[in-house]
Amino acid sequence: MALRIDDLNEDIMTEVLNIYTEVAGINTRQSVSWLLESTKRSLLDPRSGAAEYRFGSSISRQSKLWIQRVYGHEEVLCWFRFDENAGMGTRGLKMEKDFQKAINKYLLATGKAIPIY
């Protein structure tokens, strides 16, 4: 599921961080305002199209939160991804699946989810 970048606000960013925190087993302690501003700037930059945040922990082994622009749509959309460290094996894949499932469920509950597949 994706989200219109215009719908990305502090409440949604906060919940995305809460989901990431729960899946990765860490506390991000990041400024939501700064992350939101940085993310929107990166997504709208034609040279970038993505924002990545590496919060890291001994559990998540430097996994990162990816927020990527979805191309091929009239509107500017973004989607969220838990990028597990390649060395994590099946545990990392489970964390990635758990994150995607929780994000999709949350976006659907907001009524702002845009199917992209």
10 occurs within a structural domain: yes
User: Structural domain of residue 32, as residue ranges?
Assistant: 3-110
pLDDT in tens, 13-66: 999 999 998 888 777 777 899 999 999 999 999 899 999 988 765 555 567 899
117 occurs within a structural domain: no
40 occurs within a structural domain: yes
pLDDT of residue 61: 57
DSSP state of 71: P
Helix runs in the chain, H state only: 10-24, 32-44, 89-110
pLDDT of residue 84: 75
116 occurs within a structural domain: no
pLDDT of residue 58: 53
* Counted domains in the chain: 1
Structure tokens, 103 = 């994000």
Above 70 in pLDDT, residue 82? yes
The single residue listed with the structure tokens 């939501």 is 32
